[in-house]
Structure 1
Amino acid sequence: MNRRDFLSLTAAVSLVPALARAGAMDYSRGLVEQALANGETVFLDFKASWCSTCAAQERVIKALKAENPAYDENITFINVDWDKYGKSKLSRSLRIPRRSTLVVLKGEDELGRIVAGTSKADIKALMDTALSAATA
């Protein structure tokens, strides 16, 4: 491997954590545990494509991210498909009562949650809690 290829590869690998945070990731088994083990602050969005409350929450989250890019830069957002994972080990362990539930985790702690709430002020407060934990 020549020096230029090595430097390009090194630069690309160093961008992987930042790219992973750009936007929300779709949940897969082990993803939350891995992110928490890496010291990341995780914002879980339990949603369904047919859920109007979920869509309202998503619009608020997108607007808040647009207003403050620090959210996307510091918080790991993970979308959990309720139809697929509503009865999963993750949902049961967190006692998720329904779709349209937002949860923030850091380490082994739950820092906050919103169930079926669409208030911009409430969602911003939850995202601010996540941001504070991520940057502490």
Structure 2
Amino acid sequence: MDRRTFIALTAATATLPFAASADILDYTPGLVQERLAKGETVFLDFTASWCSTCRSQGRTIQALKVANPAYGQAVTFIDVDWDTYGTSELAQSLQIPRRSTLVVLKGDQELGRIVAQTGQSEIQALMDTALSAATS
């Protein structure tokens, strides 16, 4: 990571307690299909409140969104509570293996996925994929 990115992410992380998470939707059955039908690019975060990997991913996602507001403006972010929906039709249809899985969808296609990875570069690459799909 270069110095400029480090400084930007550090500053963004410092503002996280004050950042609005209103742009992250909580999953309810039918929400993903509704948003995809509207032509939106959807970024799913299968997460659990007790999962340290999930919390790390969440901090990175928020820091990246603060550093580049285009993510939040163009992509629909949806948190899927693993404890409630881990065995749901959505999780089964996408073959989600575990919590801490991040998935990008557009239309009827899966554009990318990360399972249990917390690296900033991997998460940013997935978010870049989502942004590219949303703005093309």
Please tell me whether residue 63 in structure 1 is matched to residue 79 in structure 2: no
Could you tell me the TM-score, scaled by structure 1's length? 0.84
Gaps of 5+ in 1: 1-20
Note the alpha carbon deviations across 1:46-90, whole angstroms, 9 max, x for none: 000000000000000000001000000000000000000000000
Aligned length: 116
CA distance in 1, matches of 2:66, 2:87: 32
Looking at structure 2, the residues matched to 23 and 32 of structure 1 have their Cα atoms a distance apart, in angstroms, of 15
TM superposition shift of 1:106: 0.1
**RMSD of Structure 2 on Structure 1 (CA):** 1.0
Counterpart position of 2:113: 113
Identity %: 67
Q: The residue matched to 2:128 in structure 1 has which SS?
A: helix
Equivalent residue, structure 2, for 1:9? none
SS of 1:122's equivalent in the other structure is helix
Q: Secondary structure at the match of 1:57?
A: helix
Q: Distance in 1 between matches of 2:103 and 2:83?
A: 17
Structure 2 unaligned regions, length at least 5: 1-20
Asked whether the equivalents of residues 23 and 77 of structure 1 are also in contact (C-alpha less than 8 Å), the reply is yes
1:23: Cα distance to partner? 1.6
Question: Which residue of the partner structure matches residue 44 of structure 2?
Answer: 44
Secondary structure at the aligned position of 2:57 is classed as helix
**Alpha-carbon offset, residue 22 of structure 1:** 4.9
Q: Distance in 1 between matches of 2:92 and 2:86?
A: 8
* 8 Å contact kept, 1:22–1:72: no
Following superposition, which runs of at least 4 residues in structure 1 exceed 4 angstroms of deviation? none
Counterpart of 1:53 in structure 2 is 53
C-alpha contact (below 8 Å) 1:24/1:77 kept by paired residues: yes
